[in-house]
Structure 1
Amino acid sequence: MLTGKQKRFLRSKAHHLQPIFQVGKGGVNDNMIKQIAEALEARELLKVSILQNCEEDRETVAASIVRGTGSELVQIIGRIIVLYKESHENKQIELPVKG
């Protein structure tokens, strides 16, 4: 579980990122979860954009991606979801110490 301080730190890191996945009319599927999990392993921090034609609400989309990938939800802002998962192979982001 991320602390408020860690979420703030990750939000500042994610500010300049572009969304690399889009959730559209089909919603979230297993293939998308697998691709997002692989991207999280490579990048640790990423954005997912929810298109206008997505039938599910953003909280539902975020919850299913977080559950499927085992990642942490950093924030939902507008139609953008910011996700973080510590990488086993490519650790790049050093989180502030909890406390």
Structure 2
Amino acid sequence: MSLSAEQRRQYRAIAHNLKPVVMVGEKGLSEGLKQELERALDDHELIKVKIASNDREERQEIVEEICTATGAELVQSIGKIAVILRRAAKPNRKLSNLIRALT
């Protein structure tokens, strides 16, 4: 699933007011963190992830690992914050950031 420039712009606008729901600490991407990412993506579809590392290359590697492990698409990465998207098969109308933004 590759996002067009128009889709990326729309998802960035939706994510602008969101707070990070998952924070990756110094220990990196653990099994428990992967489960939390899965839950957050299933519930919200579009989420922000905060990465605590000060090293730019390490942050980029973590973002790539998150996207690979969860099957999500990177929408935007600025500094320590990454916005990722994974469409749910059956989105929850009350929790999905996409549905709430478009209605």
TM category, shorter: 0.7 to 0.9
- Report the counterpart of residue 30 of structure 2 in structure 1: 29
Structure 1 residue 25: deviation in Å? Answer: 1.0
Does the 8 Å CA contact 1:25/1:53 hold for their aligned counterparts? no
- Report the counterpart of residue 20 of structure 1 in structure 2: 21
Matches within 5 A, 1:8-87: 8-52=9-53, 57-87=58-88
1:14 partner amino acid: A
Q: So what's the TM-score if we normalise by structure 2?
A: 0.82
Q: 1:33 to 1:75 in 2, by over 3 A?
A: same
Q: So what's the TM-score if we normalise by structure 1?
A: 0.85
Q: Which runs of 4+ in 1 moved over 2 A?
A: 91-94
Question: Mean alpha-carbon deviation: is it higher for 85-94 or for 36-45?
Answer: 85-94
1:10 partner amino acid: Y
The unaligned stretches of length 5 or more in structure 1 are: 95-99
CA–CA distance in 2 between the matches of 1:22 and 1:69?
15
CA–CA distance in 1 between the matches of 2:15 and 2:54?
25
2:21 partner amino acid: I
The unaligned stretches of length 5 or more in structure 2 are: none
Secondary structure (helix, strand or coil) at the match of 1:57 reads helix
Does the 8 Å CA contact 1:74/1:82 hold for their aligned counterparts? yes
Does the 8 Å CA contact 2:53/2:59 hold for their aligned counterparts? no
CA–CA distance in 2 between the matches of 1:46 and 1:80?
10
CA–CA distance in 2 between the matches of 1:52 and 1:66?
17
Secondary structure (helix, strand or coil) at the match of 2:19 reads coil
Does the 8 Å CA contact 2:72/2:86 hold for their aligned counterparts? yes
RMSD: 2.0
Structure 1 residue 52: deviation in Å? Answer: 4.3
Identity %: 34
Q: Which has the higher helix share?
A: 2
